[in-house]
């Protein structure tokens, strides 16, 4: 009846991939053609013009290139796959971010099994698909939309792009280094690192170094 759907799965944990494959194999219309354990594996796979898949099932938290980077890379391509994000947790700001980047679906790992097949079938039809818990949060956000302060800065703070240097400093902060140590490691003056710290505090809207560390962990900067 319908043409077979080919899927590529990317997750850093093999066991999760095996779970997804096991679920997908229960449906005869869909076939997992290959999988990747890192972000660079994904991009390389799709860069090779011999390889194609209709749908990419992608975990955000994967090594080397994270989910955001992979999506940014793939969206430039001509034969780009539909992308379904499978995430451990469910932060509405990340969902929004991924939608902006052109993803077609977002489901959480909690109930990925129940949703993955429907999600794949939906996105190849050009529809968008979200798991029930994500839908709930989106609705909640929509209802509370009146609380948005003013209309000129609609971008999520995830759009707050950190510079390479800032990310480097942030990484060293999470490794318990203080300003003099970071300055030494990067061969710049203490003043410079202090400036970077101040930018980070401002951009990420946190109060102190602990806030920076928590942010870095939550959004997988490190």
Partner DNA sequence: AGTGCAATCCCTGAAAACAGGGATGTAAAA
Partner DNA sequence: TTTTACATCCCTGTTTTCAGGGATTGCACT
Residue 155 CA to residue 93 CA, distance in Å, equals 10
The CA distance from 198 to 71, in Å, is: 30
Span from 53-61, 111-119, 127-135, 191-199 in contact with DNA (CB under 7 A): 191-199
20 binds, among DNA, a copy of itself, none (CB under 5 to 8 A by kind): a copy of itself
Q: Is 167 in the site for a copy of itself (CB under 8 A)?
A: no
Give me the residue label for tokens 């379904």: 84
Q: Which is nearer to DNA, 18 or 194 (CB)?
A: 194
- Residue 214's binding partner, choosing from a copy of itself, DNA, none, with beta-carbon cut-off 5 to 8 A by kind? a copy of itself
3-state SS, residue 22: helix
- Residue of 1, 2, 3, 15 interacting with a copy of itself (CB under 8 A): 15
DSSP state of 119: H
d(Cα 118, Cα 63) in Å, to the nearest integer?
27
Compare residues 144 and 161 and give the one whose CB is closer to DNA: 161
> What, of a copy of itself, DNA, none, does residue 109 touch, CB below 5 to 8 Å by kind?
a copy of itself
Residue 208 makes contact with DNA by CB under 7 A:
yes
Cα Rg, the chain, nearest whole Å? 20
**Do 6 and 33 contact (CB within 8 A), yes or no?**
yes
- The answer to whether residue 60 forms part of the interface with a copy of itself (CB under 8 A) is no
- From the number of C-beta atoms within 10 Å of its C-beta (0-12, 13-18, 19+), residue 139 rates as exposed
We find the least distance from the C-beta atom of residue 20 to a copy of itself, in angstroms, to be 6
Sites of contact with DNA (CB under 7 A)? 161, 163-166, 178-180, 183, 186, 188-192, 194-198, 201, 207-209
């Amino acid at each position: 009846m319908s043409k077979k759907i080919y899927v590529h799965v990317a997750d850093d944990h093999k066991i999760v991939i095996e779970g997804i494959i096991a679920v997908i194999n229960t449906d005869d219309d869909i076939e997992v053609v290959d999988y990747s354990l890192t972000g660079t594996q994904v991009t390389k796979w799709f860069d090779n013009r011999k390889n194609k898949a209709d749908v990419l099932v992608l975990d955000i938290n994967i090594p080397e290139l994270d989910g955001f980077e992979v999506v940014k890379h793939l969206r430039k391509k001509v034969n780009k796959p539909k992308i379904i994000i499978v995430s451990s947790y469910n932060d509405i700001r990340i969902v929004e971010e991924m939608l902006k980047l052109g993803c077609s679906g977002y489901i959480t790992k909690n109930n990925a099994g129940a949703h993955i097949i429907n999600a794949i079938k939906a996105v190849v039809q050009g529809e968008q698909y979200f798991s029930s818990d994500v839908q709930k949060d989106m609705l909640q956000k929509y209802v509370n939309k009146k609380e948005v302060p003013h209309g000129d800065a609609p971008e999520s703070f995830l759009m707050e792009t950190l510079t390479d240097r800032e990310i480097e400093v942030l990484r060293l902060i999470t490794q318990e280094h203080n300003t003099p140590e970071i300055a030494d490691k990067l061969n710049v003056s203490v003043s410079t690192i202090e400036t970077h710290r101040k930018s980070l505090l401002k951009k990420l809207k946190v109060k102190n170094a602990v806030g920076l560390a928590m942010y870095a962990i939550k959004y997988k900067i490190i």
